[in-house]
Structure 1
Amino acid sequence: VSMAVDCDGDAILVKANPQGPVCHTGSDTCWNEENSSKTGFIDQLRAIIKDRKNNPSDQSYTASLFAKGINKVAQKVGEEAVEIVIEAKDDNKELFLGEAADLLFHYLVLLEAKGYELDEVMEVLIERHKK
């Protein structure tokens, strides 16, 4: 993905999207760590959403949301929020997680429609945590 040299030129930082273990021993890393978090996929999803906005296609559900305007996008977030609340009252993990995924996806679409970045939301949370 990218490479950078540190300030005094004695170390290189390589950022990559590995397709499996990266250590010669077969471990995820050379420090016996596991790459188990899947939250990095959110950045990939955000890039796809941005691309659907900038390069709309008739076959894209996401592009169709953008085409309908901000009110429709916001309405979808509201619908998904209600649906997750309803599923939270039951004990069906599969349905709850499906609604959680729908809400997160539509929320990311809303952020893009408004021209805001998820990092801006994270900054608000970070500032609140400091208080």
Structure 2
Amino acid sequence: MPSTPRRTGWHKSSHSDQGNGCVEVRLTDTGAEIRDTKIADSPAITFTRAQWTRWIDEVTAGRLTNDNGAVEVSTTPNAWTVRARDTTTTLTFTDHEWAAFRAGVADGEFSADLVAP
């Protein structure tokens, strides 16, 4: 049986506009990180593998319960704010950026299966 290919480096959803900001993801051996491409030297929010899996499930279902252990997401008109629970890091994305990220999640682009066990 062929192994699942792993992604390395920072990636954004294939649904993101190339010139605009977006949620950018880096899958790691221990989980994942996200950052905001609109911010030069954007801080990253880190997830363990278990936290990433729970968060991706929340994003896929469209029910952000904030029970993933890593981040809390809040919304205001045209703003999705992702705040790390263990640091002061906060990233804010537009509706368009969030929709592109969510579409990429739905397509499996950021699946925890792509993270090494």
Q: Which has the higher contact order (CA 8 A, sep 6+)?
A: 2
TM-score computed with the length of structure 2 as normaliser: 0.30
TM-score, with structure 1 as normaliser:
0.28
Which is richer in strand? 2
